[in-house]
Structure 1
Amino acid sequence: MNDHHTAKLPARPSIAEAAEHFGVSGMTVRRWIAAGRLSAHRVGPRLIRLDRDELLSFGRRIGGSV
Structure 2
Amino acid sequence: MSARSRRLTSVADAAESYGVSERTIRRYIANGTLTAYRFGPRMIRVDLDELDSTLVPMGGGA
The structure where helix makes up a greater share of residues is 1
Alignment of 1:15-54 (within 5 A): 15-54=11-50
Deviations 1:2-44 (A, max 9, x none): xxxxxxxx82111011111221110111011001110101111
> What stretches of structure 2 of length at least 5 have no aligned partner?
1-5
TM-score by length of structure 2 reads: 0.74
**Moved >4 Å (runs of 4+):** 62-65
Aligned residue pairs total 56
Structure 1, unmatched stretches of 5+, are 1-9
Give me the CA root mean square deviation. Answer: 2.1
Shift of 1:62: 5.7
The share of aligned pairs that are identical, in percent, is: 52
